[in-house]
Chain A
């Protein structure tokens, strides 16, 4: 599983509250990603990081922010959760020296 852990695995939150999802990796990989997956849309890239404090936007970044203060942790924050952000969120890393992505187990987020 390439040493990727997502937390929490499940969360229910209320509209308007802030939410932070955490992705932790144990193998010093440089590239980390946050995707969301919804029926009919597949995996959509939210943000990605290419190093500590280096991040860039993906296809669906509005309403999300990220931070990477150390190599092993990539945090995804929903500043004010909305029902449209109900989704399954996947973290991924790129294997060392490859473009092969390894995914975490996913976080199911429900905004009510």
Chain B
């Protein structure tokens, strides 16, 4: 069956360090993968999209990689700040390009 896996344990890091979050998927061949940020009590907010023919994408302190052979995406936040503390979700299209399926998310805590 199709599955998207993100680490359910919270990632706890020191301010200034790089946070790395993982998204693994099985039985999908997605044309793209997305990352969202969700704060408590709010809906997710889109951060980045990476297509299957792109190895890496950057936006300010964010970097996403996409390895279609490993079926994995890595999401990096460099020079992390306490304001980066949130839950981060990956998403990819299901059996239709517009059927967006989400992972369960990983909570990031950045200590001052």
Q: Which of A11-19, A77-85, A96-104 binds B?
A: A96-104
Check A42/B100 contact, CB under 8 A, given A101-B91, A103-B43. no
Q: Is the CB of B49 within 8 A of A105?
A: no
Interface string of A70-108 (1 = CB under 8 A from B): 000000000000000000001010100001111111100
Interface residues in A43-58 (C-beta closer than 8 Å to B): 43-45, 48, 50, 56, 58
CB distance from A41 to the nearest CB of B (A): 6
Cβ of A99 and Cβ of B93 under 8 Å apart?
yes
- Of all chain A residues, the one with the shortest Cβ separation from B90 is A42
Cβ distance A14 to chain B, nearest Cβ, rounded Å:
25
How many A-B contacts at CB < 8 Å in the complex?
61
A100 to B33, CA, bound (A): 10
Nearest chain A residue, comparing its CB with the CB of B31 = A99
- Do A105 and B42 form a contact, CB below 8 Å, given A40-B8, A99-B32, A99-B49? yes
Residue of B89, B97, B98 near A42 (CB, 8 A) is: B89
9 residue pairs bridging A and B, Cβ less than 8 Å apart: A44-B102, A90-B43, A90-B44, A94-B98, A99-B49, A99-B97, A100-B34, A100-B49, A104-B43
Q: Which residues of A contact B (CB under 8 A)?
A: 31, 33, 35, 40-45, 48, 50, 56, 58-59, 90, 92, 94, 99-106
